[in-house]
């Protein structure tokens, strides 16, 4: 155990640093959270206890709420971690959320299909967008930024075209499956459960599989990966397809939670996704990063948005604070712990003299 | 121990007198738990060329980098002109007149020579916009000091040869009034001709009173241009000798503790089964190349830089499109389009530039070694970790790899050990044809012998080996045959045991390379 801990502290310093940021933020959230007026009864796994003036932030309903609200972005961030690890970027995920959401709503409401059909079709639509991205990047050898910038614009257009610039509401129509879908797929246990399962799956994919190893190798040194005979094109295609698929999943959850197939959904979502990945310690240069880090990054963003909301901070001020946190989180990763202790010793030395 | 070198016994011993320009005491450098330098001391005098020698991981490059501020030391007491100084980053070093010329040059490839030289001094210009004329004027004196005055200062650096780029780097150092210049394995990428030119420049620097610290593995160079030699071993100081009072045998003993055999030959395992035959091959860098390699045969490719030695490997590995001619591998037509296809047909390429083309520097030793065989360790997408560990550990022992742990990041290894990891990658792959592009580049004597042993072992196991080397003695020592290339054509094909360096050099440098292929003896 001690061996494992020292190994973790020395070899996964990036994760340790993200965890420190998360812990600090969590503490701040608890301290600055408004309190409940009366008593609050905790009900956790059958155990219940009643407390007074409990921080609203720590209420179970609030914690699960913040997880659900941020799940779509967090889910896409899992795939984006792989894309960024290869040294690429995917700007089209926001548009893909919209495409998936409108496909899902159209099928449910207008085609009266079953819930399963609509969901699978939406995810396939997302996966296809990813396949187009990955295929073009691999075959044409054009920078991912440019290809996905183009698909970002194009897919947004496609999503609007599918629904003629209109929004499709799930409730109010005659479709029972649509109402059923909106009810089930917006439940906290379903959304948070899906995120946790996907996080574990993608963590294992990166840690234990050949694909994961290839992804890291290509991001570390693309030329060496080619010289080592890696199937670089297939890896690129796989990584972007997976990310597109996850954007499709996120679109399904967004559709269910908003009761709406909105073609303007997910505008600028790609930037939140990238922010989550970067806060999680994944380097935009490729080759360095982890799924665990991305999960931590998602929690950082989720907690921050939540605590600012609980305190009724102005939305524009929220954005400005978010910007600060992104920069601080990334700076915290670049400072080595050794440098901090050295600085501390120097500072102490200079004050005692 | 101090037996004088033949022919130099009567020379006056040149011991520098007066105050050293730079002194270093108690220099230590730790990388995590690894001690790269342990309490090393060094004096460098103005106007001397001081060699820093040592084995793989002895710490000679580390010491050079510490002195030039490229690596912050864990502990060090430095003085310049007798005054204590602190060098913690390249800017400190630059202000004190200490510069390093890296093995992998740190120039801006897409900027011009003048821009590269003036880049640190742009801020001294008075106007807001840079003046290209002023930059050229600033660059010219430094360029003429390194013998590049015939080049226009506006030439972009990427269009220069490696040798010229190195001289530009030196010119930049001179323009910043460098008084101590560290040369880190400077000749490892140079042709013999370019080495001569570099030595002439170094000689001039010495006469100008500049202190040159010359980090190298090459014995002959040390005795040619260096005044004093300091040897490090395992990060510790072993000793300093005036070049004229020592000899190769003593230095080798100081570096590795035992003698190395120098008159060995290839194992001669060549069979009569042809494995690869290339007929009239033409690519962007090859005009007309025909050669055969049999199973168990080691064939050396000699020639000047640009003669097409590496291009043969690029064609074989599917990196350069084939414009004409045929190749036959194991009796089958062979025309790869990607490295992956080549690899699947049983061809392995050890690239020339191991950092840019070979290793994933942030990944571990084990991950680097196994990356090309993951398809055979693939169990429904999962990596068979235990088998991966067994195989990579085995190949690590086979190559006598010295690494802190299989999980250690490969960038923490010395050059020789990095090369062994890369060789291990292709040993695991069990290819039939190995193309080794300068396998001992930037590698010291001890690791070199290990690599020779690996090549010999490959031949014994019936593999075909094509090998490029910039050092002729190495080709003659390792190969059964030496094929000399000249301007993209085969100029000669020699039996390595019965040829001399002079013969090979003549065919490599003669201007009119005919199609004649003398089977000379």
Structural contact between residues B423 and B454, judged by C-beta atoms closer than 8 angstroms: yes
Phi, psi angle pair for B272, to nearest 5°: -100, 10
Residues 278-307 of A with CB under 8 A from B: 287-288
Is the minimum CB–CB distance between A213 and chain B shorter than 8 Å?
A: yes
> Is the entire prediction scored with pTM above 0.80?
no
Residue A175: per-residue pLDDT: 79
Residue B121: per-residue pLDDT: 67
Q: What is the ipTM of this complex?
A: 0.87
Is the minimum CB–CB distance between A214 and chain B shorter than 8 Å?
A: yes
Average pLDDT of chain B, as a whole number: 85
Whether B158 is covered by a domain: the verdict is no
Which one of B352, B374, B425, B428 makes the best mutation probe of the A interface by having the most chain A beta carbons within 10 Å?
Answer: B374
Shared domain check, B311 and B232: no
Residue A97: per-residue pLDDT: 98
Structural contact between residues B230 and B64, judged by C-beta atoms closer than 8 angstroms: no
In chain B, which residues have their Cβ closer than 8 Å to the Cβ of A282?
none
The C-alpha of A201 sits at a distance from chain B's nearest C-alpha, in angstroms, of 12
Total number of domains in chain B: 3
The C-alpha of A152 sits at a distance from chain B's nearest C-alpha, in angstroms, of 31
Q: pLDDT (tens digit, 9 = 90+) per residue, A21-32?
A: 899 999 999 999
Q: pLDDT (tens digit, 9 = 90+) per residue, B282-300?
A: 999 899 999 999 999 999 9
User: Mean pLDDT lowest for which of A130-139, A297-306, B121-130, B289-298?
Assistant: B121-130
The C-alpha of B348 sits at a distance from chain A's nearest C-alpha, in angstroms, of 9
**CA pair distance B133, A26, nearest whole angstrom:** 59
Phi, psi angle pair for B486, to nearest 5°: -145, 115
Strands B228-233 and B49-54: parallel
Shared domain check, B80 and B28: yes
Whether B181 is covered by a domain: the verdict is no
Shared domain check, B380 and B251: no
Shared domain check, B450 and B424: no
In chain A, which residues have their Cβ closer than 8 Å to the Cβ of B381?
209-211
In chain B, which residues have their Cβ closer than 8 Å to the Cβ of A216?
360, 363, 367
Residue (of B67, B159, B175) closest to B119 by Cα position? B175
Shared domain check, B236 and B374: no
Other beta carbons less than 10 A from residue B432's beta carbon:
16
Other beta carbons less than 10 A from residue B131's beta carbon:
14
Other beta carbons less than 10 A from residue B166's beta carbon:
26
User: Mean pLDDT lowest for which of A29-43, A221-235, B36-50?
Assistant: A29-43
Structural contact between residues A249 and A198, judged by C-beta atoms closer than 8 angstroms: yes
Shared domain check, B489 and B515: yes
Output DSSP code: residue A37: S
Shared domain check, B318 and B235: no
Q: Average pLDDT in the B140-151 region? A: 87
Which one of B32, B338, B382, B387 makes the best mutation probe of the A interface by having the most chain A beta carbons within 10 Å?
Answer: B382
In this predicted structure, the answer to whether residue B516 has a pLDDT above a threshold of 60 is no
Q: Which of B257, B284, B315 is the last residue of a domain?
A: B257
Residue B408: which domain range? 358-430
Cβ contact A210–B375 (<8 Å): yes
Contacting residues for A299 by C-beta, under 8 A, at least 6 apart: A22
Shared domain check, B214 and B93: yes
In chain A, which residues have their Cβ closer than 8 Å to the Cβ of B412?
none
End-to-end CA, chain A: 41
Cβ contact A230–B375 (<8 Å): no
Residue (of A327, A330, A276) closest to A303 by Cα position? A276
In this predicted structure, the answer to whether residue B13 has a pLDDT above a threshold of 60 is no
Cβ contact B362–A288 (<8 Å): yes
Contacting residues for A316 by C-beta, under 8 A, at least 6 apart: none
Cβ contact B339–A221 (<8 Å): no
Shared domain check, B281 and B242: no
Residue B135: per-residue pLDDT: 84
What domains, with CATH codes, occur in chain A?
A: 59-334 (1.10.3470)
Shared domain check, B424 and B435: no
CATH number at residue B454: 3.40.50.300
Shared domain check, B386 and B371: yes
Instruction: Output B428 or A335, whichever has higher pLDDT.
Output: B428
Contacting residues for B234 by C-beta, under 8 A, at least 6 apart: B38, B57, B58, B59
In chain B, which residues have their Cβ closer than 8 Å to the Cβ of A225?
360, 371
Q: Average pLDDT in the B488-492 region? A: 92
Residue B124: per-residue pLDDT: 52
Average pLDDT of chain A, as a whole number: 91
Shared domain check, B412 and B467: no
């Amino acid at each position: 155990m001690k061996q494992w801990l020292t190994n973790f502290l020395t070899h996964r310093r990036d994760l340790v640093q993200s965890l420190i940021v998360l812990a600090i933020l969590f503490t701040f959230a608890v301290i600055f959270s408004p309190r409940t007026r009366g008593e609050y009864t905790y009900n956790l796994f059958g155990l219940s206890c009643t407390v007074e003036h409990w921080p609203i932030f720590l209420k179970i309903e609030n914690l699960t709420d913040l997880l659900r609200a941020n799940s779509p972005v967090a889910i896409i961030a899992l795939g984006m971690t792989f894309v960024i690890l290869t040294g690429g970027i995917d700007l089209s995920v926001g548009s893909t959320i919209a495409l998936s959401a409108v496909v899902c709503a159209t099928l449910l409401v207008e085609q009266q299909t079953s819930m399963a059909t609509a969901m699978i079709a939406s995810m396939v639509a997302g996966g296809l967008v990813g396949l187009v991205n990955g295929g073009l990047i691999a075959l044409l050898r054009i920078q991912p930024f440019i290809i996905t910038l183009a698909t970002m614009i194009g897919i947004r257009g496609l999503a609007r075209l599918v629904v003629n610039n209109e929004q499709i509401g799930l409730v109010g129509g005659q479709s029972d499956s649509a109402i059923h879908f909106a009810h089930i797929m917006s439940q906290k246990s379903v959304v948070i459960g899906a995120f946790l399962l996907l996080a574990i799956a993608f963590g294992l994919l990166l840690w234990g599989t050949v694909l994961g190893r290839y992804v890291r190798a290509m991001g570390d040194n693309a030329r060496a990966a080619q010289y080592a005979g890696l199937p670089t094109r297939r890896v690129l295609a796989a990584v972007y397809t997976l990310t597109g698929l996850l954007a499709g999943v996120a679109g399904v959850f967004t559709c269910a939670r908003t009761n709406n197939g909105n073609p303007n959904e997910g505008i600028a979502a790609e930037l939140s996704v990238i922010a989550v990945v970067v806060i999680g310690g994944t380097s935009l240069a490729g080759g360095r990063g982890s799924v665990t880090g991305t999960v931590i990054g998602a929690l950082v963003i989720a907690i921050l948005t939540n605590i600012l909301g609980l305190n009724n901070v102005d939305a524009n001020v929220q954005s400005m604070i978010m910007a600060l946190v992104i920069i601080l989180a990334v700076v915290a990763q670049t400072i080595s712990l050794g440098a901090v202790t050295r600085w501390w010793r120097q500072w102490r030395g200079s004050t005692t003299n | 121990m101090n037996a004088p070198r033949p022919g130099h016994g009567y020379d006056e011993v040149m011991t520098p007198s007066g105050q050293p320009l730079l002194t270093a005491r108690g220099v230590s450098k730790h990388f995590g738990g690894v001690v790269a330098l342990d309490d090393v001391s060094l004096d460098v005098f103005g106007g001397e060329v001081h060699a820093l020698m040592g084995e793989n991981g002895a710490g000679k490059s580390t010491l050079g980098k510490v002195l030039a501020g490229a690596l912050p030391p864990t502990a060090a007491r430095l003085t310049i002109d007798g005054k204590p100084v602190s060098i913690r980053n390249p800017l400190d070093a630059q202000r004190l007149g200490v510069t390093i010329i890296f093995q992998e040059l740190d120039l801006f490839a897409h900027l011009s020579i003048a821009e590269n030289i003036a880049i640190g001094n742009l801020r001294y210009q008075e106007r807001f916009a840079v003046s290209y004329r002023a930059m050229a004027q600033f660059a010219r004196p430094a360029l003429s000091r390194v013998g590049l005055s015939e080049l226009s200062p506006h030439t972009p650096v990427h269009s220069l040869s490696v040798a010229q780029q190195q001289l530009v780097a030196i010119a930049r150092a001179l323009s910043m009034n460098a008084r101590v210049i560290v040369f880190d394995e400077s000749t490892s990428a140079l042709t013999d001709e370019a080495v001569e030119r570099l030595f002439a420049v170094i000689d001039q620097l010495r006469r100008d009173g500049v202190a040159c610290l010359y980090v190298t593995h090459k014995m002959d160079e040390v005795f040619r241009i260096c005044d004093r030699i300091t040897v490090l071993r395992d990060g510790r100081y072993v000793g300093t000798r005036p070049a004229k009072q020592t000899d190769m045998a003593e230095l080798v003993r100081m570096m590795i503790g035992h003698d190395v055999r120098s008159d060995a030959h290839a194992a001669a395992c060549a069979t009569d089964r042809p494995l690869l035959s290339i007929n009239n091959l033409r690519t962007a860098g090859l005009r007309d190349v025909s050669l055969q390699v049999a199973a168990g045969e080691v064939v050396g490719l000699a020639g000047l830089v640009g003669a097409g030695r590496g291009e043969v490997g690029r064609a074989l590995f599917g990196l350069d499109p084939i414009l004409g001619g045929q190749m036959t591998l194991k009796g089958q037509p062979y025309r790869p389009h990607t490295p992956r296809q080549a690899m699947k047909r049983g061809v392995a390429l050890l690239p020339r530039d191991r950092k840019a083309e070979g290793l994933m520097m942030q990944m571990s030793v084990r991950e680097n070694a196994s990356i090309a065989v993951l398809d055979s360790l693939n169990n429904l997408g999962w990596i068979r970790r235990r088998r991966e560990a067994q195989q990579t550990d085995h190949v690590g022992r086979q190559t006598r790899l010295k690494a802190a742990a299989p999980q250690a990041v490969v960038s923490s290894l010395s050059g020789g050990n990095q090369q062994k990891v890369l060789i291990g990658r292709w040993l695991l792959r069990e290819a039939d044809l190995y193309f080794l592009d300068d396998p001992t580049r930037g590698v010291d004597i001890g690791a070199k012998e290990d690599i020779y042993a690996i090549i010999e072992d490959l031949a014994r196991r019936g593999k075909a080996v094509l090998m490029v080397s910039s050092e002729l003695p190495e080709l003659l020592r390792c190969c059964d045959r030496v094929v000399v290339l000249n301007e993209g054509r085969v100029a000669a094909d020699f039996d390595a045991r019965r040829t001399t360096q002079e013969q090979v050099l003549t065919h490599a440098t003669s201007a009119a390379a005919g199609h004649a292929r003398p089977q000379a003896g």
